[in-house]
Amino acid sequence: MEPLRRTRDWMWDRLSLGPVAAQLAHKTVPVHRYSVFYYLGGMTLFFFLVQIATGILLMLYYRPSAENAFESVQFLMTSVPFGWLIRSIHSWSANLMILTAFVHLATVFFAKAYRPPREATWVTGCVALFLALAFGFSGYLLPWNQLSFFATKVGTEIAGVVPGIGPWMLRFLRGGDRVTGATLSRFYGWHVAILPAITTIVLGLHVLLVQLHGMSVPPTLEEEAKRRRPMRFLPHYALRDLFGWLLALGVLAALAALFPWELGEKANPFAPAYADIKPEWYFMFMFQTLKKVPGGQFLGIEYEVFPILLFGLAGLVLLLVPFLDRNVTRKGRSRGFTAAGVLVLIYMVGMTAWGYRSLTPVWVVVTTLALIGLFAFVVRHREVVEREERP
Ligand code: HEM
């Protein structure tokens, strides 16, 4: 045991871990009826780490060319031991990461956690979400199957419609005029090198800012949080965080094993356009909106350009929420932003359900809320606090 202890002390000393340990020992987390929402960012982070681990394993077999990509994934799924499981975990975890990131965004939005001094935490989180969506878009094409090929064709076409920069964006994304092997290599580069590097930096900054500022309390619950003793991060909150990761792992493992990710047919660029082109579910609300726009022009501009510009503007507004919502700083509340948030959520879920012609998106929302409720019940903050308060 002595060599182990000495190695630990050596590392502790050389890495100057003393101040970090002291910070963690004093760190507390506010306790109120919505404290459960503090676990969602951690769960999102967990899925991101799963993505890195499984993505590296997939890279060992994947070959990024139009001739070999599909076959390499097929080989991985049929001949490599547990290859199908690693691929299934990677695909499911990507979707769960985006789902938890959306729920995390919604909770910090409604809790007004973007109030000063957390503007930068919000902005870095928002950028991380956009990067996660870019991961999804670039990863979708990699198996080079019919569905992903035609969805990428349509997706990049939409980018090409933007006035002015559209044609340039289309060529930039595709690496030429058409979706070809050049597009695949380009998407692969983004997916395994550029995006992971930027995302790691952005998420590192995001989590660092959370550590520096601590967790915020929603304005309406400040009195309640003052009455209740905050929970110590070590060990109470950290153990609950770990339990959240375990729950996330359970959901992920069940989905990946019971519903293995399918591969479909190899892309055939000369086949007639695929009848039922579907983007990833998180782009469905935009896709469905565009599908419902009638053909025609206004002042020489195609009708579909307007919703595309509107979605771009909405992304910018989302990024700038902390700077636009001035009421929340002055009055501690901002009903207008809350109402707008509810309407946007209803629109997104409604359009997604319409796009799929199914109520599944509504059930996903209900199940997610039920799981969060169950988690809140299991981690019961109140009991530990009462026990701690006893002399
Ligand atoms: C995409 C990946 C993301 C990861 C891995 C992540 C991770 C985290 C973690 C671990 C925390 C601390 C615990 C918690 O509050 O849940 C946190 C807090 C926070 N996040 Fe994120 N986050 C992500 C996306 C976002 C997004 C999209 C936003 C909003 C646009 C956001 C805004 C915030 C804010 C404002 C806080 C502070 C909450 C408070 O003080 O009450 N994050 N994030």
pTM of the model: 0.94
Nearest CA to ligand 1 atom 15: 38
Distance between Cα 151 and ligand 1 center (Å): 30
Q: Which residues line ligand 1 (CB under 6 A)?
A: 38, 40-42, 44-45, 48, 101, 104-105, 108, 111, 113-114, 118, 121-122, 125-126, 128-129, 132, 203, 206-207, 210, 215-216
Contact between 206 and 130 (Cβ < 8 Å): no
Ligand 1: atom nearest CA of 215 is: 40
CA angle 281, 160, 133 (to 5 degrees): 30
Distance between Cα 212 and ligand 1 center (Å): 13
Tens digits of per-residue pLDDT, 96-138?
Answer: 999 999 999 999 999 999 999 999 999 999 999 999 999 999 9
> What is residue 265's predicted lDDT score, i.e. its pLDDT?
94
Burial of 348 (0-12, 13-18, 19+ CB in 10 A): middle
Distance CA 75, CA 260 (A): 15
> What is residue 361's predicted lDDT score, i.e. its pLDDT?
97
Distance CA 369, CA 171 (A): 41
Nearest CA to ligand 1 atom 42: 125
Strands 297-298 and 231-232 come out as unpaired
pLDDT over 80 (residue 382) = no
Distance between Cα 173 and ligand 1 center (Å): 29
* Average pLDDT score over residue span 269-296: 90
Query: Tokens 């419902």 belong to which residue?
Result: 292
Contact between 184 and 144 (Cβ < 8 Å): yes
Q: How far apart are the first and last CA of the chain?
A: 36
Tens digits of per-residue pLDDT, 146-155?
Answer: 999 999 999 9
Distance between Cα 111 and ligand 1 center (Å): 12
Rounded to 5 degrees, φ, ψ at 65 are -140, 155
Which tokens sit at 58? 């997939």
Whole-angstrom Cα Rg for the chain: 23
Contact between 149 and 279 (Cβ < 8 Å): no
Distance of CA 318 to the CA centre of its chain: 15
Probe residue for ligand 1, chosen from 124, 206, 237 as the CB with the greatest number of ligand atoms within 8 Å: 206
Confidence of residue 272 (pLDDT cuts 50, 70, 90): confident
Ligand 1: atom nearest CA of 109 is: 29
Rounded to 5 degrees, φ, ψ at 28 are -130, 165
Probe residue for ligand 1, chosen from 32, 35, 44, 245 as the CB with the greatest number of ligand atoms within 8 Å: 44
Ligand 1: atom nearest CA of 318 is: 30
For residue 56, CA distances in Å to 46, 61, 347, 359, 387 come to: 16, 10, 37, 35, 44
Contact between 101 and 313 (Cβ < 8 Å): no
> What is residue 10's predicted lDDT score, i.e. its pLDDT?
93
pLDDT over 90 (residue 326) = no
